[in-house]
Amino acid sequence: KSDPVSTRVFPLELGRQFPELRWPPETPAGPVTASLPRAHRAPRQDEAFRSAADRYLQNLPFGSQIGAAARANRVDGLLIASVVEAESSFQPDAVSPRGALGLMQLMPFHLDGVESPLDPATNLNLGARYLAGLERRFGGNLELALAAYHAGPTAVERWGGVPPYASTQLYVGLVLDRYREHRVSLEQQVAAADPS
């Protein structure tokens, strides 16, 4: 189990990858000011954003299962959706040439003793748990966690960073691009729904 995470801290050091997501946002000096976006001013707004994120996930295939797996493992649901999109294109019965299975394309050794590895909820929960473990293993570095998810943690450790495999580098870029697209889309929906 991971340590409790504040609702104002994004897992996987997302603030490092996406400076606009930092809490509090970096300012030249002094405290957070009233000029910040509404989502950063009050917990009520944070709750509104989380609620909007849940609604956003519901519009994706397997969105409710993605949200449940993300909450259970303290990983951003939009990140899990981005991994699923890159791994299996939301196809729950996907099987890769190397034997990776399901929505999150887990290898058989991740599924030892699992009766229904292609069950979406099971596959998503195991994949989210694995990604959360990689995040802890690599000190919150999102790029390294994603590279380890694709190429294996020993490859990342052996190379001291993202391995120089073209497929892994493309994968990391693809997931980050999808994640950024989901975040921007969600933020636009929240802004459009804000009456002020």
- Active-site positions read 87
Q: Which residues contact 21 (CB under 8 A, 6 or more apart)?
A: 10, 14, 15, 183
Report yes or no: 18 and 184 within 8 Å, Cβ to Cβ. Answer: no
The Cα–Cα gap between 196 and 192 comes to 10
Residue 141 CB: number of other CB atoms within 10 A? 20
Report yes or no: 135 and 152 within 8 Å, Cβ to Cβ. Answer: no
